[in-house]
């Protein structure tokens, strides 16, 4: 995977994860268990995006 594709994956995971967290907070008002599952998935995606940032920082240009 080249650096350009890794950058796209990184920011997609981070912004998609944060969007999922916001959606989960809104859904939680109606259905707590579903809301927390969506929030958990968003947190995992955001964490993977952070891991991609770390991975990108360790690569050679």
pLDDT band for 55, please (50, 70, 90 cuts).
very high
What is the distance between the alpha carbons of residues 61 and 56, in angstroms, rounded to a whole number? Answer: 9
Q: Does residue 43 sit in helix, strand or coil? A: helix
- Encode 20-48: b = buried (16+ Cβ within 10 Å), e = exposed: bbeebeebbeeeeeebeebbebbeebbee
Instruction: Provide the domain limits for residue 40.
Output: 3-58
d(CA 61, CA 45): 25
pLDDT at site 27? 97
Q: How many domains does one find in the chain?
A: 1
pLDDT (0 to 100) of residue 59:
87
**pLDDT tens figures, 2-54:** 989 999 999 999 999 999 999 999 999 999 999 999 999 999 999 999 999 99
| CA angle, 49 then 54 then 39, to 5° | 25
Q: What is the pTM of this model?
A: 0.90
């Amino acid at each position: 995977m080249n650096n350009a594709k890794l950058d796209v994956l990184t920011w997609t995971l981070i912004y998609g994860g944060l969007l999922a967290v916001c959606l989960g907070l809104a859904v939680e008002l109606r259905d707590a268990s579903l809301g927390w599952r969506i929030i958990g998935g968003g947190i995992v995606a955001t964490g993977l995006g952070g891991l991609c940032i770390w991975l990108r920082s360790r690569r050679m240009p």
